[in-house]
Amino acid sequence: LLVLSYPLLFPTGSSTAQTVTQTQPDTSVRETETVTLHCKFDTSDTHYYLFWYKQPPGGEMSFIIRQEFYNQENATEDRFSVNFQKAKKSFGLRISDSRLEDAATYFCAFTGGTVT
């Protein structure tokens, strides 16, 4: 059994109006199960990138996966994939075949800009 925990909010620190919101309580999942962590974004930027990071207990934060705004497919990296729903402004992280090493705090993040 592993526990995935979430920060309440991960501010993006940008001058334009952009937010990402994580509103899910800590989640427990059994090994080998698939779990999806939720994250929503809100922006008026024309170009943006969405990221997921993980930080194990007592460990350092590391990059997992990136989704480009123009990508027509969900980004996939090993057992991790993004559930990118552009219209719903959501980009969940799907973890399949969960392992003990997945126990961590997961952060979603956003960076973007407008090209005129």
Ligand X SMILES: *[C@@H]1O[C@H](CO)[C@@H](O)[C@H](O)[C@H]1NC(C)=O
Residues that bind ligand X (CB under 6 A): 72-74, 83-85
Q: Which residue is nearest to ligand X (CB)?
A: 74
State which residue, 9 or 68, has the beta carbon closest to ligand X.
68
State which residue, 19 or 71, has the beta carbon closest to ligand X.
71
Cβ 80 to ligand X, closest distance in Å?
A: 13
- Angstrom distance (rounded) from CA 90 to CA 22: 10
Cβ 84 to ligand X, closest distance in Å?
A: 4
State which residue, 30 or 88, has the beta carbon closest to ligand X.
88
Please identify which residue in the block is written with the tokens 């952060």. 107
State which residue, 13 or 70, has the beta carbon closest to ligand X.
70
Sequence-separated (6 or more) residues with CB below 8 Å from residue 11: 19
Which of 77, 67, 79 is CA-nearest to residue 109?
Answer: 67
Cβ 94 to ligand X, closest distance in Å?
A: 8
Sequence-separated (6 or more) residues with CB below 8 Å from residue 43: 16, 17, 18, 19, 89, 110, 112
